[in-house]
A and B are shown apart, each in its own frame.
Chain A
Amino acid sequence: MWKWFHQLASPPHFYRISAILAPWLAVPGVILIAYAAWQGLFVVPMDYQQGDAFRIIYVHVPSAYLSMMAYMIMATSGAIGLIWRIKLSHAVAAAAAPIGAGFTFLALCTGSIWGKPMWGTWWEWGDPRMMSELILLFLYFGYMALRSAIDDTTKADKASAVLALVGIVNVVIVHFSVEWWSSLHQGQTVFKKGTMDADMRIPLLIMLLGFTLLFGAMLLRRIRTEVLFRERRTRWVREMILSPEGGA
């Protein structure tokens, strides 16, 4: 078990395994998303209050969940890299940041598109969830800006890992402070969620799974590129590229 784990942390080994693993995540992910999208868009009945507009949750909820998940992955793998000095985990953190920022942006956009017909406004400053999500996007921007500002990769890895860890402590505080703040201004505008009908929920759960698998595949792909770039001066990369297969 441990031997396998240690081997996985070595870049050439990871590069080989991830090539096998990635399609197994991507293909089911795409199939599940396609199935759930068809279900969600055409099969599931209209919501009696929100009409067809509610259907955007099939994109919104998975992206909001992945926006936080990606931050957790980024911070934890940064911490692992900082503590046990595993080079690969820094590559994971570097790869997770842009994907996370993308999902955060998607969650904000879909939320705001949904908010226009529902709340009558594109943006509601008083809503704690929107504010937390926006601050999360800023944290991603800061993280990526710090990474790109430091030329030395090792230094950039460590510095950004510290930032991600400070950020994760703060995300909780941000969430509560925003909640406290907005509770002054107005009551919760989000409709009190009753139990969701199974017809609506099952496609959402399938969508969540599909998004997660696709996220895994995208993450692997990015880590592979990151590993290849970081190891560009090593022998295994040169041997792989010069080999007859050309390193697919």
Chain B
Amino acid sequence: MSDASREIPGIFAGLGATAKRDLLLAWKRPGDVLNPLFFFAMVCTLFPLAVGPSAEQLEFSGPGVLWVAALLATLLSLNALFITDFEDGSLDQLLVSPQPLPILVLGKILAHWLTSGLPLVFVSPILAITYRMPLSVVGVMMLTLALGTISLSLLGSIGAALTVGLHRGTALLSLLILPLAMPIMILGANAVSLAASNDIYSTGIWALGAYAIASLSLAPYATAAALRISNE
């Protein structure tokens, strides 16, 4: 028995293995990564069509539109976080693994962020420029999106874990997560708006950073608990 327990790799090996596996899966199914990005671009296209393409309108609404679109795109990708693992039974393997579940979950969330949040951050400048956002503000927006999507992935994983295996889980997931995700969007979009009007925007960045750290330390435990509840 003691030999077996010595063979169990460290917690970071477990984190790395789950993250690597999910990244590999994402690589094999590029559609899962690309679809939310297309969705993001399309939502950003809808707004000028709906409210009119005048320059000052675009400049004014740009930060808000980009942030709403990013939030919706992240929600769209969150549904897939546990569902395929639940269907093919590998989620059960995670649950019975001797590794601490919160760490394994963190690995999955990390992979989710790398395949959903990070691409959004890199796609957003293209759309931001079409919204006539100055280049200095684009940097601020990328920073808020990077910090914000980390929190969104973490917070959303709780919702994804609670709704895994439920019928009509997608709509329910949005209903659960959107009210909780509002502060992230408020902080992010307003920091960008403030930067655009040459105001002090650092408060929003710090608050987003604090939110990301707090959810990084708390959300994996809640997600792990929720996964155990949904799979008993």
- Within residues 128 to 184 of chain A, which ones have a CB less than 8 A from any CB in chain B? 135, 138-139, 141-142, 145-146, 149-150, 155, 158-159, 162-163, 165-167, 169-170, 173-174, 176-178, 180-181, 184
Q: Which residues of A contact B187 (CB under 8 A)?
A: 177, 180-181
Assess whether B175 is interfacial by the CB under 8 Å rule. Answer: yes
Q: Which residues of B contact A177 (CB under 8 A)?
A: 182-183, 186-187, 207
Q: Are B218 and A169 in contact (CB under 8 A)?
A: yes
Residues of chain A touching chain B, judged by Cβ–Cβ distance below 8 Å, are: 135, 138-139, 141-142, 145-146, 149-150, 155, 158-159, 162-163, 165-167, 169-170, 173-174, 176-178, 180-181, 184
Q: Which residues of B contact A159 (CB under 8 A)?
A: 162, 226, 229-230
Q: A142-B175, A174-B180 are in contact. List 14 more A-B contacts (CB 8 A).
A: A135-B179, A139-B180, A146-B163, A149-B167, A159-B226, A166-B180, A170-B183, A173-B211, A174-B183, A177-B182, A177-B183, A180-B190, A180-B203, A184-B193
Q: Which of A139, A155, A178, A180 contacts B230 (CB 8 A)?
A: A155
The answer for the CA separation of A58 and B229 in the assembled complex, in Å, is 42
The answer for the CA separation of A169 and B179 in the assembled complex, in Å, is 12
Measured between C-beta atoms, what is the minimum distance from A2 to chain B in Å? 28
Contacts A177-B182, A180-B203: A149 and B229 contacting too (C-beta < 8 A)?
no
Q: Which residues of A contact B183 (CB under 8 A)?
A: 170, 173-174, 176-178
The answer for the CA separation of A14 and B138 in the assembled complex, in Å, is 60
- Within residues 165 to 190 of chain B, which ones have a CB less than 8 A from any CB in chain A? 166-169, 172, 175-176, 178-180, 182-183, 186-187, 190
Q: Which residues of A contact B175 (CB under 8 A)?
A: 138, 141-142, 145
Q: Which of B186, B193, B222 contacts A166 (CB 8 A)?
A: B222
11 A-B contacts (beta carbon < 8 Å): A138-B179, A146-B172, A149-B163, A149-B166, A149-B167, A159-B229, A162-B225, A166-B158, A166-B222, A170-B183, A177-B207
